[in-house]
Structure 1
């Protein structure tokens, strides 16, 4: 996906990849919650943050 994308673009790409719509919606909500993607003016933008968890001590 490009740095900025719409919900429709994401769903079209997911459909091409054969991913279930419900899974993509759930994943997108998590990405927004963890601030990996932010939503602004009907578009989503990647923040550049990582999904990786903190390493164990």
Structure 2
């Protein structure tokens, strides 16, 4: 499956929308959930609880 989208300049994601790792402060690109209480964020590799990145 291939998805091609063209974003207008004002539709591009801003760096402020990228969450920070609660453990080390690095920007989080993705998270792999290993279980209900354990996950790994990338690219830093810190292990955090999956709900730690939820917005308030």
Is the structural similarity TM-score above 0.5?
A: no
TM-score, normalised by the number of residues in structure 2:
0.22
TM-score, normalised by the number of residues in structure 1:
0.22
Larger Rg, first or second structure (1 or 2): 2
More RCO (CA 8 Å, sep 6+): 1
Between Structure 1 and Structure 2, the one with more helix by share is 1
